[in-house]
Amino acid sequence: MSSNKTTTKKELTAADKMELVAKAEAYTDGLVKKAHQAALQFEGYTQVQVDKIVAAMALAASEHSLELAHEAHNETGRGIVEDKDTKNRFASESVYNSIKNDKTVGVISENKVAGSVEIAAPLGVLAGIVPTTNPTSTTIFKSLLSAKTRNAIVFAFHPQAQRCSSHAARIVYEAALKAGAPENFIQWVEDPSLYNTTALIQNTGIASILATGGPGMVNAALKSGNPSLGVGAGNGAVFVDATANVDRAVEDLLLSKRFDNGMICATENSAVIAEEIYDEFLEKLQEHGAYKVPKEDYEAIEKFVFVERAGEGYGVTGPVAERPGPWIAEQAGVKVPEGKDVLLFELDQENIGEALSSEKLSPLLSLYKSTSRENGKEIVQKLLAYQGAGHNAAIQIGAQDDPFVKEYADAIGAARILVNQPDSIGGVGDIYTDAMRPSLTLGTGSWGKNSISHNLSTYDLLNIKTVARRRNRPQWVRLPKEIYYENNSISYLQEMPDVKRAFVVTDHGMLQFGFVDHMLEQLAVRETQVQTAIYGSVKPDPTLSQAIEIARQMNDFKPDTVIALGGGSPLDAAKIGRLIYE
């Protein structure tokens, strides 16, 4: 039965708002205090205990993966069940396998050469913001990382995904408790509201915020007064080089755009195609299920899909994200042929900043024609500079070791440059590349106003203590340019250049048996007289104090030549004495 009655929303007074804020602060403060108790208890766990808990959580999440995917799809009405199942398995299995051997308790590294030891400590209590687009997978991901690093976490789920998100949290939490985890180390806001979420992220007991969501929520987290690890807007683009394998590039691009209806923030929103292969590429896109939207329909789709946001360009309207392409077109009054699911829009690079050049969060794709490699770089960089700075870019090219790949990466302001792979699935790591850790929080660096430019993982949720042992700096010894030794070497004193003042270091035996006199005879035959001074009391085991005395006498005499006469003791004493003197 339907009703024709309409209800008007009561406008809140300032007093009403203050009361709601106070209630939210009291409620979330209670959650944070419980989390602090759990975090204190968790801090005493060993690595073995932690690893047992994380393994149990990952297994439970994996076992319920498909169930949670159905729940997320049913509650939000977004995405594709099979792809949500893949994301849940990625969050539970791929992420688990990447972190299971991480050392996150106690001593995590030791460098005996440098004299350093690194010791891991948890951050404390985390606030976890979860979006409606990837609700269950994000909950699993953040829960695993929190447990692995001995942090407690309090979640604030998107109101449109509260049931499925809280179910995912409950599954991993109950598995963790059975494995010995502290009570209340995972909690969530039961009544989702902007007031509760705001109170949570602004609570002074929060050590860090893991913010995943729309630009508004991420910006609110960054301005909360607490440290925040968030993500920036995505508007990734792929440059398809003239040397690219066209069939593979088309397959990768369509796979990326179709995966969960193009929802992952790393997904390509634009393809910049070399003019030499543009027509072939466009034709093959259409052969494989893409639809080139007539230009006269652009405006209708733009009006339905996008809304202008002050200072941020255009963003998709709430109902659009993660919806099928034909549904979006139908809502805009545009008819799409049956069997076509990715909508193509041919745009002019001179108009970057228009609505269709923005992030789409759906199976909509903009196409640009580049006249050269240099022009391709410029278009991709312009797209990222307009929206999506620091996020993702990709390139399809014939040879992965082509020098242009590095040139392209150097010119693009993106934290991840994916080569010959679908950007959406490649960007999260593990599946197409081992170069990045599996993650559902992709840092965008200073380009995107983020604290990190890599894929978030365990190391980001730890305080690292560095123990630095004292190390004396290595010293260097400057020896004379030339040293003469072996039998009859003293005869060279007759012709050795620049000998005017010679200091002799020897022992009583050398003096007593006339060896010093024999050496002085070599100096006597020189054309100019050589001034000499003799230290003749080196002991069989010379001491440092003796070397210091030799240096003192050298300093008084100012020799240009040092002569050590005798065995090892006079030689050693002369070397150290000269070193100190110089």
- Say how far residue 411 (Cα) sits from the centre of its chain: 19
Calpha distance 392→375 (Å, rounded): 18
Cβ atoms of 293 and 356 within 8 Å: the answer is no
Residue 425 and residue 47: Cα distance in Å, rounded?
31
Q: What is the DSSP letter of 357?
A: G
Which is nearest to 193 in space by CA: 425, 56, 31, 27? Answer: 27
Contact 311, 216 (CB under 8 A): no
Find the range with the poorest average confidence among 239-248, 305-314, 420-429, 455-464.
305-314
Alpha carbon of residue 467 to chain centroid: 24
In the predicted structure, residue 558 carries a pLDDT above the cut 80:
yes
- How far, CA to CA in Å, does 84 sit from each of 160, 288, 369? 16, 23, 33
Structure tokens at 565: 């006469």
Q: How far is the C-alpha of 73 from the C-alpha of 79, rounded, in Å?
A: 6
Taking residues 107-133, report their average pLDDT.
Answer: 95
Q: Report the candidate in 381, 394, 387 with the shortest Cα–Cα distance to residue 359.
A: 387
User: 497 vs 48, which has greater pLDDT?
Assistant: 48
For residue 30, give every residue at least 6 positions away whose Cβ sits within 8 Å of its Cβ, in sequence order, or none. Answer: none
Instruction: Return the SS3 of 324.
Output: coil
183, 149 contact by CB (below 8 A): no
Give φ, ψ of 119 to 5 degrees. Answer: -125, 130
**% helix, strand, coil for the chain, step of 5:** 45, 20, 35
Catalytic residue among 220, 250, 264, 265: 265
DSSP for 261-312, written as a single string: GG-STTS-SEEEEETTTHHHHHHHHHHTTEEE--GGGHHHHHHHHEEEETTT
Residue ranges and CATH numbers for the domains of the chain are 14-231+461-468 (3.40.605.10), 237-437 (3.40.309.10), 489-581 (3.40.50.1970)
Whether 109 has a pLDDT exceeding 70, the answer reads yes
**Confidence at residue 493, expressed as pLDDT on a 0 to 100 scale:** 86
pLDDT > 70: percent of the chain: 96
Q: Is the pLDDT of residue 6 over 80?
A: no
Query: Which pLDDT does position 475 carry in this prediction?
Result: 67
Q: Is the pLDDT of residue 167 over 70?
A: yes
Residue 114 falls in which region: left (phi positive, over 0), alpha (psi -120 to 50) or beta: alpha
Q: Return the structure tokens found at 446.
A: 């200073």
> For position 1, what pLDDT does the model report?
37
Confidence of residue 479 (pLDDT cuts 50, 70, 90): low
Is residue 574 pLDDT above 60, yes or no? yes
- Please write the tens of the pLDDT for every residue from 61-104: 999 999 999 999 999 999 999 999 999 999 999 999 999 999 99
**Mean pLDDT confidence for 44-50:** 98
Q: What is the pLDDT of residue 346?
A: 98
- Beta carbons within 10 angstroms of residue 336's beta carbon: 18
| 44 has pLDDT over 60 | yes
Phi, psi for 231 (deg, rounded to 5): -125, 155
pTM value? 0.82
Q: What is the pLDDT of residue 480?
A: 62
Average pLDDT over residues 456-478: 87
* Contacts (Cβ under 8 Å, ≥6 apart) of 159: 192, 193
Q: Does the structure show a pLDDT above 60 at 3? A: no
CB 387 within 8 A of CB 234: no
Catalytic residue status for 265 = yes
Give the phi and the psi of residue 541 in degrees, each rounded to 5. Answer: -120, 85
Contact 197, 156 (CB under 8 A): yes
Residue 229 CA to chain centroid, in angstroms?
Answer: 11
